Every structure is written in C-alpha cells, then in structure tokens.
Copies of this chain bind each other. A is one copy, B any other.
Amino acid sequence: MTNKLNSNNLTKSEEDYLKALFQLLIESDSSKVGNNQLAEYLKVSPASTNNMIKKLKAKAYVVSEKYGKLDLTEEGRSIAVRLIRKHRLWETFLCNYLNFTWDEVHEVAEQLEHVKSRKLINELDRFMDYPKKDPHGELIPGADGDYSVLPKVMLSSLSEGDVCKLEAVNDGSVNFLKYVSEIGLVLSSEIKVLEIREFDKSIRIEFNNVVETVTRKFADNVFVKKIT
C-alpha cells in the first residue's frame, strides 16, 4: 500500500529514467549506481541525467546525496516495476499474437509501455491469460507490483558434458537476438555442451541435432537451467 490512487502523471522521459535506474540497480547488484553510469545507459549526457535526477528527487522517486550514488524510493521502484510489467506484457502480445520476432519486439514495446491506462494493461494481461514469462524468458511482474528474477545461470558457466535447457536470453541487443533466432535456438531448447576450447573460450554446443560453435560473449547472454 504505497500510494493513494496512483495518479501517474510522469512524462515519457521521467519514466525512461526511472526504469533505467531500476534496471541498473538490479543488474549491478549491491555495487551502487552513479550519475554517469545512468547517462551512459540511456545514451544521454551526464548533464542531462543530473538535471533529470534533480526533478525525480524533488518528486521523491529518487534519493541520493550530493556526489553520492543513486537509489529509488519505494514509489520510484513501484513505477519502474509497472513499466517493466507493461513492457513485458506488450512483448508477449507482439510475439504470441502479432507474429513479431524476438529482435523486433523491443523497439515497439518501448513505445507501448508509455501508454497510460490501467485498464488497458490489466485487460491485456487477462486476454493473454496471465502469462508468467515474456518471450525472452523473463518473469512478468504481476499487477500487485511484485518483481522477482529467475536465478540466472549463464551457458558460459557450464562444463563440458553438461546438458541444460534454455530458460531466457538477454534482451539488450537486437543483433544478439537475431543471431539466437537464426541459429535456431528457442526457449526450452535442450543444449549439450560438447567442448570448451581453451584458446578463446569458445563453446561447441549441440541442440535439436545441430552442432554450433558460439563465442564466450554469446554464451554469457544465454541463460539456462542445468539438467545433468
């Protein structure tokens, strides 16, 4: 019970900053997030970020001391989670009903997540029968604002001979997502680690009776559940 009626009057920019800060806080667990880091993430100048952070502090969505690290208030966090909920629900809709591919959804969902209507998103959720995961395998936060993450095991952390199931992929790069689709990997694919080459840490994997060699960088962005 954080807010009265949630009269969400934020601009698109304010929403973008809150969501970005939330993502950074999640990713860099415990290591604090700074102004320039946020600027780089959003591809804007540190000055712009500094300016926006001032506004968000005034609105009590962000806290930080001068020259100190950034953090979200409960209210700021709650707004960010709702944005992520919207983003992932839209991605799910685009993939499951409108024939979008993994690499196409992000840009459009980025626009759709700023549409303001409580009813819209809750009805969309109902229409799709309350999906648990988005197309990349990430958990979709519920209407209650709960945010949780799947324990992430990188494909690159496995050993030769291990067998695993594809659980999620990092959705940060369009080129990566295209690549994943192109070689034929989909969620739930069973992957066997055939060999890890010492020289460059590249990995030979087998899935769906196909053998591929992927780089360490690729394997860092593929999240799996170990089977054996």
Q: Measuring CB to CB, which residues of chain A are less than 8 angstroms from any residue of chain B?
A: 94, 97-100, 104, 107-108, 111-112, 115-117, 119-120, 123-124, 127
Contact = CB atoms under 8 A, between A and B. Distances in A.
Contact of A123 (B99, B115, B127): B99
Contacts of A99: 123
Nearest to A12: B12
A108 B115 CA distance: 8
Task: Tell me the interface secondary structure of chain A in the complex.
Answer: helix
Nearest to A120: B108
A104 B123 CA distance: 13
Nearest to A124: B98
A100 B115 contact: no
Contacts of A108: 115, 117, 119-120
A107 B107 CA distance: 23
A96 to B, nearest CB: 11
Contacts of A119: 98, 100, 104, 108
Contacts of A111: 115-117
Nearest to A112: B115
A107 B115 CA distance: 10
A177 B124 CA distance: 23
A97 B123 CA distance: 9
A135 to B, nearest CB: 15
A98 B120 contact: yes
A108 B29 CA distance: 37
Contact of A127 (B97, B107, B120): B97
Q: What are the nearest 6 A-B pairs in CB distance?
A: A98-B123, A111-B115, A108-B117, A108-B120, A99-B123, A97-B127
A72 B111 CA distance: 28
Nearest to A115: B111
Nearest to A97: B127
A99 B119 CA distance: 9
Contact of A115 (B98, B104, B115, B116): B115
